[in-house]
A and B are shown apart, each in its own frame.
Chain A
Amino acid sequence: AQSVTQPDIHITVSEGASLELRCNYSYGATPYLFWYVQSPGQGLQLLLKYFSGDTLVQGIKGFEAEFKRSQSSFNLRKPSVHWSDAAEYFCAVGAGNNDMRFGAGTRLTVKP
């Protein structure tokens, strides 16, 4: 079965600084990859997804992610972080069926 590792439990960045959140997956074939964001006490909002094609995908709120097969990674990036980006971010991998596995999440704190 597929699995996801988010190596960073908590990241703090200054407002206006760039951001990269790491995600590594394990799956034998080409996976479906997702990034979700969750604000405190709320459900998950889809930021972006990768199924195939261009390995650099654009999402909402100025986020992008790059699929690197050789590194089994799907890192999330944003060039300039806003205070409203403070939240929990989850990477997920799907196998084309119902079975979607989530990482444990990375909590983002934004310093003023």
Chain B
Amino acid sequence: DTGVSQDPRHKITKRGQNVTFRCDPISEHNRLYWYRQTLGQGPEFLTYFQNEAQLEKSRLLSDRFSAERPKGSFSTLEIQRTEQGDSAMYLCASSPPQVQETQYFGPGTRLLVL
């Protein structure tokens, strides 16, 4: 049983560039979540999917942020026109249909915007 995986683990980019992160959930987990975590804080919910449907996106931080899960398996989170304030750890989690309240987290993608 492999856990949630995220790619890349680290990303350094220049301000104004677009970045895309990938998350592969645990097999057969139908829910997938994205969080942002800044230094010294707990994770902050961004959005989530049930299968391919994005059921909550009002808490994405701005219209520069978007997420997809086209086939209900892996998901991507894109940040357009990155700003220095976007520097953070981006965490992905998934949960199984039987116990949807329990989320299992991936290792995260650490983004640094210069």
Closest residue of chain A to B4 (Cβ to Cβ) is: A43
* Partner of A102 from B4, B42, B104, B107 at Cβ < 8 Å: B42
Task: Specify which chain A residues have a CB less than 8 angstroms from the CB of B31 in the assembled complex.
Answer: 98
Pick from B42, B45, B101, B110: contact of A96, CB below 8 A.
Answer: B101
Q: Is A46 in contact with chain B by the CB < 8 A criterion?
A: yes
A19 at the interface (CB under 8 A from B): no
> Does A57 lie at the interface of the complex (its beta carbon under 8 Å from any beta carbon of B)?
no
Is A44 a contact of B105 with CB atoms below 8 Å?
A: yes
Task: Tell me if A12 is interfacial: C-beta within 8 Å of chain B.
Answer: no
What is the total number of residues of chain B having a CB less than 8 Å from a CB of chain A? 24
B74 interface hit (Cβ, 8 Å): no
Which residue on chain A has the smallest CB distance to residue B50?
A: A98
- Note all chain B residues with C-beta closer than 8 A to A36: 105
Task: Please tell me if A26 contacts chain B, counting CB pairs below 8 Å.
Answer: no
A51 contacts B105, C-beta separation under 8 Å: no
